[in-house]
Amino acid sequence: MFRIVRKEALKPTVVLFEIEAPMIAKKAQPGQFIILRVDENGERIPLTIHDYDREKGTVSIIVQIVGATTEKLNHLNEGDCLQDFVGPLGKATETEGKKKVAVVGGGVGCAIAYPVLKKFHDDGAEVHAVVGFKSKDVVILEDKFKAVSSVLKVCTDDGTYGQKGLVTDALKELIEAGNQYDEIFAIGPMIMMKFVCKTTEPYGIPTTVSMSPIMIDGTGMCGGCRLSVGGEMKFACVDGPDFDGFKVDWDLAVKRNQMYKDFEKHKHEETCNLLKKEAN
Amino acid sequence: MPNMSLKKNPMPAQDPNVRNKNFEEVTLGYTKEMALDEAQRCLHCKNHPCIQGCPVMIHIPEFIAEVAKGDFEAAYQIISQTSSLPAVCGRVCPQESQCEKYCVRGVKGEPVGIGRLERFVADWHNANVTAAPEKPKANGHKVAVIGSGPSGLTCAGDLAKKGYDVTVFEALHLAGGVLVYGIPEFRLPKAIVQKEVDGLKALGVTIATDTVVGRTISIDELMEEEGFEAVFIGSGAGLPMFMHIPGENYKGVYSANEFLTRINLMKAYKPESDTPIQHPKRVAVVGGGNVAMDAARCSKRLGAEVYVVYRRGMEELPARHEEVEHAEEEGVIFKTLHNPVEILADENDDVRAIRCIKMELGEPDASGRRRPVEIPGSEFEIEVDCVIMSLGTSPNPLIKSTTEGLEINKKGGIVVNEDGLTSRKSVYAGGDAVTGAATVILAMGAGKTAAKAIDEEISKR
């Protein structure tokens, strides 16, 4: 069992959990993920590691409350335990040897973009950050980003905060302004990562994306997370999660992620009703 | 006077048309009377060839003699001397090609139902004996076992009995390996696996789940920092193979490992489980091994019409005869001499059909099996909304890629000597991680061999 030592609602639907997991904290690298299971009937879900404290032996994740499992997770409090928490999984992001990079984060993906960005920064690169949110009330981690990037552009879809519009527009402006990036790293919803790649491809800037397909074991034994990358079959949990964004078959990846949409919707409603009943 | 009936006592089973709608165990096991009667069929021949057929060399005639006397606990104790998982092996071993193959009674008539008797004895013990086994005296030595499948559990059990402090590291959240994620509930109830694992814990074995060796901790760290004096790698062959034909990434195409993991480990067929699974109407299972039979029979239980697509003929199916028979009884349709060439989908990328080509058998190939040859122009489509690829598995590369100096063969298997020793000092391996996908009992035999070698190595220090 893995104890929640800290829970902090960054926004009403975006919650940080700091979990006691010394073995994972000791090994974790930016770009890696964990798989957790909330309870006995729980499913296994992958979540990227947001932060770790090797001294304290804790690992932090930032979760957007979107479905049954995240709803159940949000029902837990400090001191409660998770049934299972396993990792670190996947390969770490390669950050060494870069002089100037742009990191693009979308929504809760920013929570994951942050450790990668910080690592680029710590490894000596000049880092520009472009982070996008739906609106002002879901903007997270702005101060943390500011501390490790030399340029920070915050965008909101509806213009309620920062620059109005999509991250791709802001990224394009930076590139057009003459910034020579060695690499662009994008993480967020698949559709956002796809369009980041579409934006950078004409400029020929290498673009790495952190993929988030459906996973079960996360150790390479089932292939549920397989992607088509450069025409080859790859398992995101062991070969990734980072891939060359220009080589990913995006339409297939987006569609595969919707495989269980109806089940997920139904399960979410069922869980919400159940949790409501318990609260009464 | 022995029972000279030429036939084995039949095993009671659920009716095929009832059982193909539930996940409960198909075969129900012998009653006490049936067991006593079957035990009388053993002739206690002097050279007991049955024992040679058992990879862990259970003292078969001795335990059967106790069954015949009605002393089931004594029978259990005899089995336990050499086997750590009798309730499992009695169920899933291919006895027809092991112990029972060599039974003298099989020369004229059917062999003694050794597997059924082993199962009866283990189930009787589990139901009637609650006293924990006596914990062996600790010898002060620490051994790590990687993987909690049949080879790892056997190795751990044998070492624990000798007083070693054993920790088993398991990547998943439950111990058992293929026994919990692969073999379905209706062949091997998970409560039975749990009981066997609990038995090992009672012997003092620590099971560390949620630990991926190679990621969470490496073999070198186990030995250098955690003080383990020897390591046994029993990480299995969990890497699924695909055909690399067009359409394999469409929604509705599963590896058998994924499909079975969702069903067996995650219990996706139960309403209370949070893990989803497709409830297909028509399924094509590609392949002809035991795993293909398991996937087909699980699909049937989810309410689908099921086709097994296999490129050779019925006689060449690698699955156990009994499994094929059970699948047929349950209504699984066999499309043998068919090979898939493409999977087709609708505009949403959901599977709508599998295109197959008909095959005929040509000359025997190097393996001695007749080679399937395509019949030109014979392609046609089978309408299905789900395809399960059951083409076999190979060893997972994680351990080899994170352990320096571990020699691996061309097929990804770990290279070992006859004691199970790898190219690394004090690191042993066995089971599917060495051989590629094989059987539960062979994995157990390998775990046993390595446990003996580890004990000898450490005792000599």
State pLDDT tens for residues B234-283. 999 989 999 999 999 999 999 999 999 999 999 999 999 999 999 999 99
pLDDT at residue number B4:
86
A264 in contact with chain B, both atoms CB, cutoff 8 A: yes
pLDDT in tens, A99-137: 999 999 999 889 889 999 999 999 999 999 999 999 898
B171 in contact with chain A, both atoms CB, cutoff 8 A: yes
pLDDT at residue number A270:
87
> To the nearest whole number, what is the mean pLDDT of chain B?
94
pLDDT at residue number A81:
96
B17 in contact with chain A, both atoms CB, cutoff 8 A: no
pLDDT at residue number A275:
83
B215 in contact with chain A, both atoms CB, cutoff 8 A: yes
Contact between B139 and B216 (Cβ < 8 Å): no
pLDDT for B368 beyond 80: no
pLDDT at residue number A120:
95
pLDDT in tens, B231-242: 999 999 989 999
Question: Distances in Å between the alpha carbon of A210 and those of A58, A127, A169, B137, B310?
Answer: 23, 18, 20, 51, 38
Identify which of B210, B252, B258 has the shortest CB distance to residue A86: B210
Which chain B residues are closer than 8 Å to A59 by Cβ?
none
pLDDT for B362 beyond 70: yes
pLDDT at residue number B364:
85
Question: How many CB atoms within 10 Å of residue B401?
Answer: 12
What is the mean predicted confidence (pLDDT) over A46-55? Answer: 94
Interface test with A, best of B274, B275, B351, B387 (most A CBs within 10 A): B274
Phi, psi of A15 (to 5 degrees): -125, 135
Q: Helix, strand or coil for residue B211?
A: coil
Residue A136, Ramachandran bin (φ over 0: left; ψ between -120 and 50: alpha; else beta): alpha
Q: Do A216 and B266 touch (CB under 8 A)?
A: yes
Q: What is the pTM of this model?
A: 0.94
Residues forming beta bridges with residue B48, ordered by sequence position: none
pLDDT at residue number B49:
95
Q: Do B239 and A260 touch (CB under 8 A)?
A: no
A194 in contact with chain B, both atoms CB, cutoff 8 A: no
pLDDT in tens, B322-334: 899 999 999 999 9
pLDDT at residue number A71:
93
pLDDT for A227 beyond 70: yes
Distance to chain B for A179, nearest Cα, Å: 37
Task: Single out the residue of A67, A20, A89, A109 nearest to residue A240, CA to CA.
Answer: A89
Query: A267-276, B100-109, B404-413: which has the minimum mean pLDDT?
Result: A267-276
User: Which chain B residue's Cα is nearest to A217?
Assistant: B172
A270 in contact with chain B, both atoms CB, cutoff 8 A: no
Identify which of A37, A220, A228 has the shortest CB distance to residue B239: A220
pLDDT at residue number A12:
87
B379 in contact with chain A, both atoms CB, cutoff 8 A: no
A89 in contact with chain B, both atoms CB, cutoff 8 A: yes
A257 in contact with chain B, both atoms CB, cutoff 8 A: no
pLDDT at residue number A236:
94
Which chain A residues are closer than 8 Å to B253 by Cβ?
none
pLDDT for A280 beyond 70: no
Which chain B residues are closer than 8 Å to A227 by Cβ?
249
A116 in contact with chain B, both atoms CB, cutoff 8 A: no
A3 in contact with chain B, both atoms CB, cutoff 8 A: no
Which chain A residues are closer than 8 Å to B248 by Cβ?
233
The label of the residue with tokens 């990547």 reads B171
Q: Do B276 and A263 touch (CB under 8 A)?
A: yes
Interface test with B, best of A1, A81, A221, A238 (most B CBs within 10 A): A221
Q: Do B249 and A24 touch (CB under 8 A)?
A: no
Contact between B206 and B166 (Cβ < 8 Å): yes
Query: A57-66, A78-87, B290-299, B395-404: which has the minimum mean pLDDT?
Result: B395-404
Task: Single out the residue of B223, B238, B228 nearest to residue B403, CA to CA.
Answer: B223
Task: Single out the residue of B243, B241, B256, B247 nearest to residue B339, CA to CA.
Answer: B243
Helix, strand and coil in chain A, % to nearest 5 = 30, 30, 35
pLDDT at residue number B243:
95
pLDDT for A279 beyond 80: no
Identify which of B249, B261, B397 has the shortest CB distance to residue A256: B249
Quick one: three-class SS letters along B64-133? HHHHHHCCHHHHHHHHHCCCCCHHHHHHHCCHHHCHHHHCHHHCCCCCCCHHHHHHHHHHHHHHHCCCCC
A222 in contact with chain B, both atoms CB, cutoff 8 A: yes
Interface test with B, best of A3, A75, A217, A238 (most B CBs within 10 A): A217
pLDDT at residue number B56:
86
Q: Do A69 and B274 touch (CB under 8 A)?
A: yes
Which chain A residues are closer than 8 Å to B242 by Cβ?
223, 233
Q: Do A87 and B215 touch (CB under 8 A)?
A: yes
Q: What percent of chain A has pLDDT over 70?
A: 99
ipTM score of the complex?
A: 0.94
pLDDT in tens, B131-190: 777 888 999 999 999 999 999 999 999 999 999 999 999 999 999 999 999 999 999 999
Q: Do B349 and A256 touch (CB under 8 A)?
A: yes
* Single-letter residue type at A39: D
Contact between A217 and A43 (Cβ < 8 Å): no
pLDDT for B310 beyond 80: yes
pLDDT at residue number B441:
84
B262 in contact with chain A, both atoms CB, cutoff 8 A: yes
